[in-house]
Structure 1
């Protein structure tokens, strides 16, 4: 995600703007582009999820499952690797999604909301509260073995939907509220990546890490040799992905690793750093193609056959409440404690009404929540219940966010008039 500007210094002269001003202008332009893409992506995601639900609950539901289970082979000479279309979407295409996430994190640490301790501390604490409380809410309903494995499902925020709701509210929402939400979502992504790596990886095979390390070293070698074309890095990227797959770590995390090692400074004749150039090129593909395709392939829950008896009922209830109630309580509560204790302070233009809006929108899990659900549960009944809980909790969070946000935006407009 694009880093917010850290403030501009006055130009050295009328003719020669400082390097700092150029960086700020570039950050502003990139931020505006990012917000536009994410806002539109939220609408596309909504249609994709609705299409999946309609499709799987129609008389043609058999074609929905048949399509994603279609075997798709990868052949390299005599070598053949056959997996379902569902696998290639979730484990291969989503690697590009995580690549963009890694680049967003890398750039934020370099020059954005995570580059300074005083700027990053409050959203970090808020994000931690937004992870801990939902997990506790979920576990209060699902403490038994098998169900408890889904504790991380309601801990992530879907930035596309959240930014989409902010876009609906118009420009009355202060810019620092938007920046706080973006920073919170980035930190959520970092925590989600760490959770997947530590708690949702299979039996670790050390040999796979050797293969991944070869891919990372190859990427560093190409950087040192001055290769700027992204196509040159496809082979190292595939090696890292294959290494993680062999190691038993979810292969999409290869995208995060590659994103984190993308250079943040231009070299040679470059005017735009590779991390910005590549992210800008991939972001629309991720927002308008990969994420909606993921939603279409995974949001299909057959409401006619879903069972809300026994353990499935508590999985759905735990996730739904954790998202629409646990997330806001965690985010708002952690922010209040940090400010009340004097450790942090709210940025200019950020009121407690704005923090409440951020907390409500943080409950929109969707993409990352469904992704973690598929790692947490192999039982189809529990997985369907988890997806239903994600959809229900996210829908309630969006509804509450729009309702509160409309009132908040109206108050902001009156205060300015």
Structure 2
């Protein structure tokens, strides 16, 4: 299978970022529950320009993360795994199953309760963590499996972005939204005119972010929209899209996501934290990520293959797809991100959800690693015997 240089770079940076994220999470939890608890908490709530440091991270820095996701999705659509419909259908259908089934399981436990707005929490997949766990299996992981998981996770993130735009928008300002979209329209014209300077797109992107921030729609959406008006050209190393994606990989993987993890896992764990795990919200998150993700992905893929819509990539078996479903159950970054939007005025539910997300992601990652490691070993044995 031909794998592009940029995909390899993306995979390498994301898997390394997963390890950094684990370290940052452990450090943050330690500091939040140490003698430095008060000072550490104040650090993230320190006000800069009428907003807290945490707010600037979640609404500002994370926009750059979504810009990178948009650029990666654009590349996949034009020349990558998603460029041919038959190849794209499997990860698209897998992502769809991996979103709908977990959300459905969550709603079974939370429909009609104050926490039903959290249905989007178990729908998300953390690319960095998922690829980080996959990388622990080393060279025996088929390239087709790496590509499948990456494409699935990118589409999953697109789904999460749509969920954020459609269901977690308050007090919509049509004027500000209209200005943001008008700026996007101007940038699109620049794209069609083959304007290949970075300056108008960066300046326009900042303007889009500002007006999107004040529109009521989450500002990070502007990152994805900006990605699709940046000239892609032929996708070569000389294009703005390629250069920007290459430039953003390491800052996002080793600064933005780690800082997000530090700021959003500063959880003070009380003596009664285990009681929170009995809450319908926690149960919905746990079962959604640990059970809903693998079941949804496997079921939707199996039905699509049975109907002749697509087929498994060469070298992959259904047990690999099922095991990969557990990897997709590592929600972490995106799940926490949606939690902050779902429970803005419910701090207790945010804390409970974060703990449930971390436990669920840990369990899903361990199961996925063990299951996939065993299935790949068995595959190697069969190949050796043949």
Within-5 A mapping of 1:156-195? 156-195=124-163
Q: 2:122 aligns with which of 154, 159, 165?
A: 154
State whether structure 2 residue 330 is matched by structure 1 residue 364: yes
Mapped to 2, the partners of 1:312 and 1:56 lie a distance apart of: 23
Offset of 1:235 from its aligned partner? Answer: 2.1
Mapped to 1, the partners of 2:156 and 2:237 lie a distance apart of: 31
**Unpaired segments ≥5 residues, structure 1:** 1-6, 8-23, 74-81
Mapped to 1, the partners of 2:182 and 2:94 lie a distance apart of: 37
Secondary structure in 2 aligned to 1:326?
A: helix
1:313 paired residue number: 279
State whether structure 2 residue 20 is matched by structure 1 residue 44: yes
1:206 paired residue number: 174
Mapped to 2, the partners of 1:147 and 1:312 lie a distance apart of: 14
State whether structure 2 residue 370 is matched by structure 1 residue 403: yes
Q: TM-score, normalised by structure 2?
A: 0.94
State whether structure 2 residue 359 is matched by structure 1 residue 392: yes
Q: 2:10 aligns with which of 23, 34, 42?
A: 34
State whether structure 2 residue 330 is matched by structure 1 residue 354: no
Asked whether the equivalents of residues 162 and 362 of structure 1 are also in contact (C-alpha less than 8 Å), the reply is: yes
Q: 2:68 aligns with which of 90, 93, 100?
A: 100
Offset of 1:367 from its aligned partner? Answer: 0.5
With CA pairs under 8 Å and 6+ residues apart, which has the higher RCO, 1 or 2? 2
1:293 paired residue number: 259
State whether structure 2 residue 198 is matched by structure 1 residue 230: yes
Mapped to 2, the partners of 1:228 and 1:61 lie a distance apart of: 48
2:102 paired residue number: 134
Asked whether the equivalents of residues 201 and 230 of structure 2 are also in contact (C-alpha less than 8 Å), the reply is: no
Cα 1:333–1:224 shift into 2, 3 Å: closer
Mapped to 1, the partners of 2:124 and 2:348 lie a distance apart of: 22
Asked whether the equivalents of residues 312 and 382 of structure 1 are also in contact (C-alpha less than 8 Å), the reply is: no
Mapped to 1, the partners of 2:142 and 2:237 lie a distance apart of: 31
Asked whether the equivalents of residues 86 and 309 of structure 2 are also in contact (C-alpha less than 8 Å), the reply is: no
2:45 paired residue number: 69
Mapped to 2, the partners of 1:352 and 1:132 lie a distance apart of: 20
Q: 1:23-54: per-residue Cα shift (whole Å, max 9, x none)?
A: x6xx5222221111111010001111111111
Offset of 1:165 from its aligned partner? Answer: 1.4
Cα 1:226–1:60 shift into 2, 3 Å: same
Tell me whether 225-234 or 84-93 shows the greater mean CA deviation. Answer: 225-234
Offset of 1:341 from its aligned partner? Answer: 2.9
Asked whether the equivalents of residues 55 and 300 of structure 1 are also in contact (C-alpha less than 8 Å), the reply is: yes
Mapped to 2, the partners of 1:398 and 1:206 lie a distance apart of: 42
1:374 paired residue number: 340
Cα 1:224–1:260 shift into 2, 3 Å: closer
Asked whether the equivalents of residues 191 and 229 of structure 2 are also in contact (C-alpha less than 8 Å), the reply is: no
Mapped to 1, the partners of 2:112 and 2:349 lie a distance apart of: 13
Secondary structure in 1 aligned to 2:136?
A: helix
Mapped to 2, the partners of 1:180 and 1:199 lie a distance apart of: 28
Asked whether the equivalents of residues 306 and 385 of structure 1 are also in contact (C-alpha less than 8 Å), the reply is: no
Q: 1:214-272: per-residue Cα shift (whole Å, max 9, x none)?
A: 432443455467654434433211110111112100011100100111111159xx852
Work out the number of aligned pairs and report it: 383
Offset of 1:278 from its aligned partner? Answer: 0.5
Cα 1:214–1:338 shift into 2, 3 Å: closer
Within-5 A mapping of 1:115-126? 115-126=83-94
Tell me how large the CA RMSD over aligned residues is.
Answer: 2.0
Q: TM-score, normalised by structure 1?
A: 0.87
Cα 1:222–1:391 shift into 2, 3 Å: same
Mapped to 2, the partners of 1:311 and 1:208 lie a distance apart of: 40
Larger radius of gyration: 1
Tell me whether 231-240 or 386-395 shows the greater mean CA deviation. Answer: 231-240
